[in-house]
């Protein structure tokens, strides 16, 4: 991809060095524009995790999860994943350790993590960058897709797990 | 967003104070803000690399030609965003191949291109909502991070998760499109 961009520019006889510098120069103002939004979001996420509301939710949701035959090891992962990528990976490592890498919960957790994203972070970043404040139905639709993804992960894992 | 963000802050502070851990919560907030600054500095390098390269392609006319080529596909999903066709595709492609650091600058470029045609600049367009939801569903060919972790933990079959992960993310993307379609209908009805 990098090479094709460069080659195309060279073939066209463009001033690629200058073009690169002009593009890279736009990166810093962009970072400066999104930083306040990232800071606001990460501050809220970090505080939310520290206050213990997560553990509370986790404890409430565990019985519901087992009623739905959703592996209970996956509940904390499901709750934290939309907020933080690194926390998601840490929790996945945790599941691997407690359940064993090749056990079913680990398998399902891998699938779930691989097929989901850090929704809150992405939304804050992308809308923050262009200054959109009313995000309308983006968040509900994204959460709906995440819920569907989690259900699909468990279902497909059950199909593929040997 | 105001509601979600405010709700999270309010909840964490109230719970923190009620459980006598207000200080812990405040410290965590501070740490989170600091983490954002560090992350931005890390991102800055990747942004410079990709935005620089993208500008080479842009000035050479490659982005315009790519857009024209992809127009028929993106026009179906993003009817109001002809100009954003190339960055949208590049973003989705970067996500697909697991290049997160490249996906973000492309995504932001796409958002900027979509914002140009936005009649109400403080409100998201339908195309933006769909674009974000597709980004949030992460259709990925190889979940590199998960695979690396499985390998390092000594899994007997590291790649066993690839097919179900891919299928699950496809279903997730389908749900995103459906969710956006429902959202659009609902917001039209409520005005």
- Which tops the pLDDT comparison, A36 or A53? A36
CB-based contact, A91 to chain B, within 8 Å: no
Chain A residues 93-152 with CB within 8 Å of chain B? 93, 96-97, 101-102, 107, 110-117, 119-120, 122-127, 129-142, 144-149, 152
Nearest residue of A to residue B185, measured between CA atoms: A137
ipTM > 0.85 (yes/no): no
> Inter-chain contact B16–A51, Cβ cutoff 8 Å?
yes
Q: Which tens digits make up the pLDDT trace of A81-114?
A: 887 777 788 788 888 888 888 999 999 999 988 8
Nearest-CA distance from A68 to chain B in Å?
18
Residue pointed to by tokens 């909840």? B11
Q: Which tens digits make up the pLDDT trace of B173-183?
A: 899 989 998 99
Domain ranges of chain B: 62-189
Closest CA to A116 of B165, B121, B112: B165
> Inter-chain contact A133–B2, Cβ cutoff 8 Å?
yes
pLDDT of residue A157: 92
Question: Which residues does chain B have with pLDDT short of 50?
Answer: none
pLDDT of residue A107: 92
- Whole-number Å distance between alpha carbons of B179 and B165: 20
pLDDT of residue A22: 84
pLDDT of residue A6: 80
pLDDT of residue B56: 82
Strand, coil or helix: B131: helix
pLDDT, mean of residues A52-79: 79
């Amino acid at each position: 991809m990098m090479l094709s961009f460069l080659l195309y520019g060279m073939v066209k006889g463009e001033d690629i060095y200058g073009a690169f510098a002009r593009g890279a120069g736009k990166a810093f103002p962009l970072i400066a524009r999104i930083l306040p939004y990232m800071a606001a979001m990460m501050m809220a996420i970090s505080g939310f995790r520290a206050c213990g509301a997560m553990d509370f939710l986790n404890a409430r949701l565990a019985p519901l999860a087992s009623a739905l035959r959703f592996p209970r090891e996956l509940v904390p992962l499901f709750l934290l994943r939309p907020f933080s990528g690194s926390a998601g990976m840490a929790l996945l490592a945790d599941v691997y350790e407690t359940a064993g890498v090749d056990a079913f919960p680990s398998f399902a957790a891998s699938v779930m993590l691989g097929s989901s994203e850090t929704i809150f972070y992405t939304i804050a970043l992308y809308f923050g960058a262009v200054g959109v404040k009313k995000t309308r139905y983006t968040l509900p639709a994204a959460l709906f897709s995440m819920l569907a993804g989690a259900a699909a992960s468990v279902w497909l894992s059950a199909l593929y797990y040997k | 967003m105001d509601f979600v963000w405010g709700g999270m802050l309010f909840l964490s502070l109230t719970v923190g104070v009620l459980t006598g851990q207000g200080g812990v919560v405040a410290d965590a907030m501070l740490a989170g803000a600091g983490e954002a600054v560090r992350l931005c500095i890390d991102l800055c390098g990747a942004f410079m690399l990709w935005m620089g390269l993208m500008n080479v392609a842009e000035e050479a006319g490659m982005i315009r030609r790519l857009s024209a080529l992809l127009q028929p596909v993106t026009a179906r999903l993003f009817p109001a965003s002809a100009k954003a066709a190339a960055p949208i595709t590049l973003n989705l492609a970067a996500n697909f191949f697991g290049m997160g650091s490249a996906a973000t600058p492309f995504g932001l470029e796409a958002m900027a291109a979509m914002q140009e045609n936005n009649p109400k600049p403080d409100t998201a367009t339908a195309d933006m909502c769909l674009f974000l939801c597709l980004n949030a569903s992460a259709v990925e060919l190889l979940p590199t991070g998960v695979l690396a972790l499985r390998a390092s933990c000594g899994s007997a079959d590291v790649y066993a998760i690839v097919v179900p992960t891919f299928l699950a993310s496809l279903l997730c993307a389908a749900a995103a499109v459906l969710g956006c379609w429902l959202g659009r209908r609902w917001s039209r009805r409520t005005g």
